[in-house]
């Protein structure tokens, strides 16, 4: 294979929907298409609207799939709005025709899939759109992972689920969790500290009362306040 980080544009291969190489040059001599080509081609066959497919191995998403943590939970409003629920395929052997079979039905209805114990598949009208969807999947996985850490520390707990799909996996902030949020918000942080948006999303995902959270956040930096207001608006819109 060829390390993708070292690949040049002149080394890209053009293939048809049957996988036949259509262009040859000195730069592509001896190169072969990716071993995951069947999965890519199946996506294009199932989705005429798609012009870009990205297969990747984002580490947190892969780790959660190995641990059996589903990602089809309506947890974050921006993920619901942008991607809907993110299903996980049945396990398929990497670099085999099984990958095409595993994604065949799901990719017809979804723009992002988690490949069990393997990676992700995202699609779009452009490469940029497919890449941004990949970023959203991994961000969603990161929030899931952080929620699990908070639960282990006793800061959040599972709440009783209702009958609706969005009630299946809900969380509630414990008293200790609310105290920790106030302590964290009161701690001076560098302006570019990247914990701010992630933790605000975590606490909103855990169903902290929006008015109470915003009242606390109002006392602190503009960046945090704007981030919180955005996610509150998205949350109310997605669940309306």
- CA-to-CA dists, residue 20 to 12, 64, 173, 197, 206, angstroms: 14, 35, 55, 45, 49
**Cα 106 to Cα 83: distance, rounded to the nearest angstrom:** 13
The whole-angstrom separation of Cα 115 and Cα 58 is 11
Provide the 10 A C-beta neighbour count for residue 213.
20
Which of the two residues, 105 and 200, has the higher pLDDT score?
A: 105
pLDDT of res. 209: 53
Q: Who wins on pLDDT, 171 or 108?
A: 108
Question: How much is the mean pLDDT over the chain?
Answer: 75
Tens of pLDDT, residues 2-27: 777 888 888 888 999 999 989 888 88
| Among candidate residues 210, 198, 207, the one with its CA nearest the CA of residue 159 | 207
Q: Lowest mean pLDDT: which of 66-70, 114-118, 144-148, 205-209?
A: 205-209
Query: What six digits make up the tokens of 59?
Result: 């580490």
Locate 50 and state its tokens.
Answer: 């798609």
Confidence (pLDDT) at 82? 81
- Residue 167: pLDDT over 50: no
For residue 132, name the pLDDT band (cuts at 50, 70, 90).
very high
Q: What stretches of 106-174 show up as alpha helix (H) in DSSP?
A: 127-152
């Amino acid at each position: 294979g060829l390390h993708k980080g070292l690949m040049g544009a002149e080394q890209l291969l053009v293939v048809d929907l049957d996988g036949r190489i259509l262009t040859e040059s000195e730069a592509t001599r001896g190169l072969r298409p990716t071993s995951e080509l069947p999965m890519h081609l199946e996506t294009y066959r199932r989705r005429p609207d798609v012009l870009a497919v990205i297969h990747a191995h984002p580490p947190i998403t892969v780790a959660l799939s190995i641990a059996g943590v589903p990602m089809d939970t309506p947890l974050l409003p921006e993920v619901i709005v942008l991607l809907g629920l993110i299903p996980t395929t049945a396990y398929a052997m990497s670099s085999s025709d099984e990958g095409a079979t595993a994604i065949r039905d799901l990719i017809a209805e979804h723009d992002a899939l988690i490949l069990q114990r393997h990676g992700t598949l995202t699609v779009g009208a452009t490469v940029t759109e497919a890449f941004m969807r990949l970023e959203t999947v991994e961000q969603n996985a990161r929030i899931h992972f952080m929620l699990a850490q908070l639960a282990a520390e006793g800061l959040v707990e599972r709440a009783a689920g209702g009958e609706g799909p969005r009630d299946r996996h809900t969380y509630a902030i414990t008293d200790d969790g609310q105290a920790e949020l106030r302590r964290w918000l009161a701690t001076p942080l560098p302006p570019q500290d990247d914990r701010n948006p992630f933790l605000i999303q975590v606490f909103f995902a855990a169903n902290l009362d929006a008015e109470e959270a915003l009242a606390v956040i109002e006392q602190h930096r503009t960046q945090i306040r704007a981030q919180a207001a955005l996610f509150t608006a998205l949350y109310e819109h997605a669940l309306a």
